[in-house]
Structure 1
Amino acid sequence: MKRIVAFGASSSKASINKALATYAANAMEGGEVEVLDLNDFEMPIFSVDREKEDGIHSLAFKFKEHLKSADGILISFAEHNGAYSAAYKNIYDWASRIEKSFFYDKPLCLLATSPGPRGGMRVLDIAFDAYSFANKNLVTKFSLPSFYENFKEGEGITNEELKTQLFVELDKFKAAL
């Protein structure tokens, strides 16, 4: 059985990206899914000085252990001012100091959504470009625009064309596991 680690790259308690990540990960049958909450990995803001004084924060090691134990990683990115959320970027900054390979070259499925019609495309493009270069395994992506018009809790994606697009990307991801 393949193990998927999924998370919304947001610290919002009502994160629409966590909802999308949870939906997408659980839509793939035949695997074990672990959904992480970034609030469980809140650390002081990373700085080289803090790392020299205190070492790498223990929660960074715990986060990396989750990634290491996965066969594949699914992330849905929140877009804050056109880039990663501060919560995700801080975890990434801390955890990336542990080992060179952040995602261990595991298959990645990158998602994004937002209330607006672009669906977090700017942050998704940033992540896709960065992780396509840094990760040797499959990186696939999907953006869900206008979250509140195209997604219903308990039902998932309601727009059939968008749902089909997501499942095409999930099939690629699943095949790479």
Structure 2
Amino acid sequence: MKILTFAATNSQQSINLQLARYAATMVPNAEVEVLDLNNYEMPIYSPEREAALAGQPPQAQQFFDKIGQADAVIVSFAEHNGSYTAAYKNLFDWTSRIDMKVYQNKPMLLLATSPGPGGASSVLAAATGSAPYFAADVKASLSVPSFFDNFDVANQELTNADLLQALQQAVQALTQ
């Protein structure tokens, strides 16, 4: 199984990337590809920029193609002011101009985490609610609150038994 995973942020120290990578390691015998959103930087989307380019930037097509080549997708959403990061939203907006079915009916596991007790649950709720409109087959979602209290950064693993069990169940739902 080929798993595509990424954090929906351009942060170089992303705790969401740590969570997404960790979840991907739980998929047995998976070939995992980790994307860095910094490789998909583009001008802020606008109809005028799209017209000036006579289409979309190549990075949007590359992102769309990566999703298409995967058997399943794991995304962990960082939350900026209760919503998507600008880096992810811009990439998503450009990619949706190629095809509104951005997620191409791929099975998906949607995650989110933050240092605080909210666990980026606002952005996760938005993503989980809207993803099916963009052809995502959302199999499970999970918010991990208080990341540094529940995740051992040195060993790159969840230490909270309840969250670990929930993540294992979510990964299992993704692969069935």
| Corresponding residue of 2:17 | 18
Contact 1:131 1:139 (8 Å CA) reproduced: no
Secondary structure of the residue that 1:137 maps to in structure 2?
Answer: strand
| Corresponding residue of 1:161 | 162
Task: Give the aligned length.
Answer: 174
Identity of aligned residues (%): 43
TM-score by length of 1: 0.95
Moved more, 109-118 or 129-138: 129-138
Q: Which amino acid aligns with 1:78?
A: A
| Corresponding residue of 2:91 | 91
Residue 172 in 1 paired to residue 176 in 2?
A: no
Secondary structure of the residue that 1:73 maps to in structure 2?
Answer: strand
Q: Deviations over 1:75-124 (max 9, x none)?
A: 00000011000000000001111113100011010000000001000000
| Corresponding residue of 2:145 | 145
Partner Cα separation in structure 2 for residue 85 and residue 100 of structure 1: 20
Contact 2:20 2:76 (8 Å CA) reproduced: yes
Aligned-pair Cα RMSD in Å: 1.1
Moved more, 124-133 or 66-75: 124-133
Shift of residue 8, structure 1, vs aligned partner: 0.4
Partner Cα separation in structure 2 for residue 83 and residue 140 of structure 1: 19
> Cα 1:126–1:136, aligned 2, differ >3 Å: closer, same or farther?
closer
Contact 2:10 2:36 (8 Å CA) reproduced: yes
Contact 2:128 2:138 (8 Å CA) reproduced: no
| Corresponding residue of 2:3 | 4
Moved more, 105-114 or 23-32: 23-32
Structure 1 stretches lacking a partner, 5+ long: none
Structure 2 stretches lacking a partner, 5+ long: none
| Corresponding residue of 1:70 | 70
Partner Cα separation in structure 1 for residue 5 and residue 130 of structure 2: 19
Moved over 6 A (4+): none
Shift of residue 139, structure 1, vs aligned partner: 3.2
Give matches, 1:116-155, under 5 Å.
116-135=116-135, 137-153=137-153, 154-155=155-156
Contact 2:78 2:84 (8 Å CA) reproduced: yes
| Corresponding residue of 2:49 | 50
